[in-house]
Amino acid sequence: MQFTCSINDFNEAKQVIVGGVDSPVRAFKAVGGTPPFIHSAKGIYLYDEDNNRYIDFVQSWGPLLFGHCDADIESALIDTLKKGTSYGAPTTLETYLAKLIIAAVEGVDKLRFVNSGTEATMSAIRLARAHTKRDAIIKFEGCYHGHSDCLLVQAGSGLATFGAPSSPGIPDSITRHTLLARYNDIESVRDCFAKAPIACVIIEPIAGNMGLVPAKTEFLQELRALCDEHGSVLIFDEVMSGFRASRSGSFAFHKVQADLLTFGKVIGGGLPVGAFGGKDEIMHLLSPEGAVYQAGTLSGNPLAMAAGIAALSKIAHDSTLYERLETLANQLMDGFRQAADSQRIPLQTTVRGSMFGFFFNTAPVNNFDDAQKSDTKMFARFFRGCLERGIYLACSQFETGFISVPMNNEHIEMTISIASDVFKEIANGRI
């Protein structure tokens, strides 16, 4: 493949945009080379400025469950666009989408829409602190909950890619209220509870920002019991897993109910969106009913609501959707693992619904420490080999991949064949 146009576009972007990108992981620092600059997409494919075509397993980092330019979502957007792009006033679209979410997800009595996952988690924590009248929170190493100050501590994903445990510009006076526990390790959580009165525990029940690492059912059950014992609020960050792992998010896998949940990605059908919701006894503290303030000019934007309604309506009317996508995800990961095994390359794989992940690691990955033992140089070689053959994977060992509805067996088998060729090239020292 030729990347001449993308190289020129990237150099030009760096003159006016910091690092040439608007989100750090897009810069390809972890894998080397120049990121392809995309000019269009359709279904499962991305097309870059050099007219290269890729099978897209990133799907805008998760939101595009139905692939690029889905006809139903596109139609809903066009109809809504003709009526206006933003009103700064209530619409029935917000109510409709809220009802779809509440009908699907256990434990959500009421919710509020915001513009991003960062806003959602930040607001949920503010509510939890107001409800408990406590300051300290517990988060887990490797879980990313957005870039608000109190949460940008051992946050995985892009930070893991760049080897930074936190970020400059965050005062110690804020992070001292954030206690760190080890994912899938309940004793580390008990240690945190012993140190301070805890307002809330926030966790990705299916972590997607240290690679795909699901929480064990027993661990989440014990976490629920600890929060009940100490009067702390349990927050599930389902920005990534909500309507991605299943219609009910992580609940389908462990049946543990949180007090507050955060959403994003799929609920906006590909447009910027976030939401947080949960028990009415906590949500009613939010202004204008209560004193906890949160606001946003574009919150509940009609375009995002329309796209979300279209996406969630399609989900609600397709009872075998996640079963089909999980079958394809398992097929892909089984194929990757067999191809890697044939070249004696260690590979660990995981699937949850339409989400998949793999680590170049000799041992199973259950937490951030395990994930960091993965061979990131091997991942970079594999990534570049796949990209140059038309397979677009997440550009970091510490990210998650996604299956979309337009994908079929042929696409999966083609991808496995390409991956097999890349593994052979790696084993023979040609990549």
Full set of structural domains in the chain with CATH: 4-69+319-427 (3.90.1150.10), 71-316 (3.40.640.10)
Respond yes or no: is residue 144 known to be catalytic. Answer: yes
Asked if 22 contacts 15 with a C-beta cutoff of 8 angstroms, the reply is no
Respond yes or no: is residue 83 known to be catalytic. Answer: no
Q: Point out the catalytic residue in the list 9, 70, 237, 370.
A: 237
Token pair of 268, please?
A: 């906006």
Query: How far is it, in rounded angstroms, from Cα 381 to Cα 24?
Result: 20
Query: How far is it, in rounded angstroms, from Cα 357 to Cα 329?
Result: 9
Predicted confidence at residue 166, as pLDDT, reads: 61
Token pair of 103, please?
A: 């009908």
Backbone CA torsion sign across 118, 119, 122, 125: negative
Q: Point out the catalytic residue in the list 56, 265, 370, 392.
A: 265
Which of 274, 240, 262, 223 is closest to 125 using CA atoms?
262
Query: How far is it, in rounded angstroms, from Cα 279 to Cα 277?
Result: 7
pLDDT of 258-283, one tens digit each?
Answer: 999 999 999 999 999 999 999 999 99
pLDDT in tens, the chain (431 residues): 999 999 999 999 999 999 999 999 999 999 999 999 999 999 999 999 999 999 999 999 999 999 999 999 999 999 999 999 999 999 999 999 999 999 999 999 999 999 999 999 999 999 999 999 999 999 999 999 988 878 876 554 444 433 334 678 877 777 788 999 999 999 999 999 999 999 999 999 999 999 999 999 999 999 999 999 999 999 999 999 999 999 999 999 999 999 999 999 999 999 999 999 999 999 999 999 999 999 999 999 999 999 999 999 999 999 999 999 999 999 999 999 999 999 999 999 999 999 999 999 999 999 999 999 999 999 999 999 999 999 999 999 999 999 999 999 999 999 999 999 999 999 999 98
* DSSP β-ladder status, 198-203 and 233-237: parallel
Tell me the pTM: 0.94
Tokens 């001292």: give the residue. Answer: 176
* DSSP β-ladder status, 233-237 and 213-214: unpaired
Respond yes or no: is residue 255 known to be catalytic. Answer: no
Query: How far is it, in rounded angstroms, from Cα 70 to Cα 65?
Result: 9
pLDDT of 197-251, one tens digit each?
Answer: 999 999 999 999 999 999 999 999 999 999 999 999 999 999 999 999 999 999 9
User: Residue 112: beta bridge partners?
Assistant: 276
Backbone CA torsion sign across 194, 366, 399, 363: positive
Q: Point out the catalytic residue in the list 54, 144, 183, 392.
A: 144
